[in-house]
Amino acid sequence: MNISKIILAIHISAGSVAILSGMIALFAKKGARWHLKTGNAFFFSMLVMSVTAIFLAWYQPYRTSLYVGFLTLYLVTTAQKTLRNAGGKNTYFESLALVYILGLFAAGVFFCNQLILAGKKLGMIDYFLFFYTGMAGLGAVLDITVVYRGGIYGRKRMARHVWRMCFALWIATGSLFLGQARVFPKIIRDPLLLATPVLLVVVMWFFWLIKVFVTVRYRQRKVL
């Protein structure tokens, strides 16, 4: 078995753990034992999945997959760091994250410009590159505000954690259920059925964001 097959096996295994643990964390009571344990499992499995995705996409090469790997790595690390940084004040990490996402956004703009200049008919995966580049730009803008203000607190801090983790889970579920539909038995390979987990993540994503901004608990400057 060559190295690429080993990496692929690790990638699939990590992705399976990430989706399972991420779904449990998504519905678990926030701050409860199950949420913390499955959230940690999701974080570490997503790290492995992202790094292996980068490796596989680099040698294929799949430009959009490569880009998504780097973006997902950014999402989960900044989300986890935000949660762990209960005080909310900036450290060196926030500045490094800003440099990282600015570079990734610039790379996305360059790649998208290449696609436009090539004059070829764009496929779905090309449009996704535009979308992910836009999301990288959003992350960069939000990181600029965090660095400029010296930190992030209360509702904004929790919202930062929620949207990044949920977006990473959306990427994972979309990659499996929509991007790899052929691995499922024909009897359940209905597009609407396979799209259900992906849509469910989106619904819960907005549910938790709304809850963060309307619940009294998150008005505090420091939320554990």
Mind listing the pLDDT tens digit for each residue in 160-187? 999 999 999 999 999 888 888 787 887 7
Distance CA 28, CA 184 (A): 27
| CA-based nearest residue to 80, from 206, 165, 16 | 165
d(CA 99, CA 171): 23
User: Among 153, 160, 154, 48, which residue's Cα sits nearest to residue 101?
Assistant: 160
How does pLDDT run across 94-138, given as a tens digit for each residue? Answer: 999 999 999 999 999 999 999 888 877 888 888 999 999 999 999
Nearest to 143 by CA among 83, 108, 93, 107: 93
Helices (H), 28-62: 33-59
Question: pTM here?
Answer: 0.89
Cα 30 to the chain's mean position, in Å? 19
